[in-house]
């Protein structure tokens, strides 16, 4: 049971380039999330998904896109990378329902630098 895995671990992009951050979970969780963490700040929700085929915007969605074709995978797409997208990106998953406490399980993160 690998939990939540993310690739790549590190990436340097040039301004205007695009890339996809991969996220996979093997816990059969319905809910999946993408966060970014900037230095000295808490986690900011970018997008989330409550199940395959369903996605919704979080607090900071601009400049990003997601898809959820399977329960396991939740890739995050960056189009036209900008320096403001330099951050550490975390993917997470959870069972999350009204009867659970919402515990989320995190991947190790992807450190992205845009120059």
Q: Is 61 in the site for another protein (CB under 8 A)?
A: no
How far is residue 15's CA from residue 28's CA, in Å, rounded to a whole number? 36
50: contact with another protein by CB under 8 A: yes
Q: How far apart are CA 33 and CA 91, in angstroms?
A: 6
- Closest contact distance (angstroms) between CB of 106 and another protein is 3
Residue 28's φ and ψ, nearest 5 degrees, are 60, 35
Q: Taking contact as CB under 8 A, which single stretch among the options 16-24, 34-42, 61-69, 72-80 is the one that binds another protein? A: 34-42
Q: Applying CB under 8 A, does 39 fall inside the site for another protein?
A: no
CB 4 within 8 A of CB 91: yes
Phi, psi of 61 (to 5 degrees): -85, -15
Give the one residue of 26, 97, 113, 115 binding another protein; rule: CB under 8 A.
97
Query: Does position 102 bind another protein by CB under 8 A?
Result: yes
**Structure-block tokens of residue 103:** 């515990």
List interacting residues with another protein (CB under 8 A). 4, 40-45, 48, 50, 56, 58, 90, 92, 96-98, 101-109
């Amino acid at each position: 049971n690998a939990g939540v895995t993310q690739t790549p671990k590190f990436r340097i992009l040039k301004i205007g380039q695009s890339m996809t951050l991969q996220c996979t979970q093997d816990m059969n969780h319905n809910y999946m999330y993408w966060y970014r963490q900037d230095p000295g700040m808490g986690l900011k929700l970018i997008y989330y998904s409550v199940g395959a085929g369903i996605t919704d915007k979080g607090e900071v969605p601009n400049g990003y896109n997601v898809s959820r074709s399977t329960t396991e995978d939740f890739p995050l797409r960056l189009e036209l990378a900008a320096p403001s997208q330099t951050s550490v990106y975390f993917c997470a998953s959870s069972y999350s329902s009204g009867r659970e406490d919402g515990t989320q399980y995190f991947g190790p993160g992807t450190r992205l630098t845009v120059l």
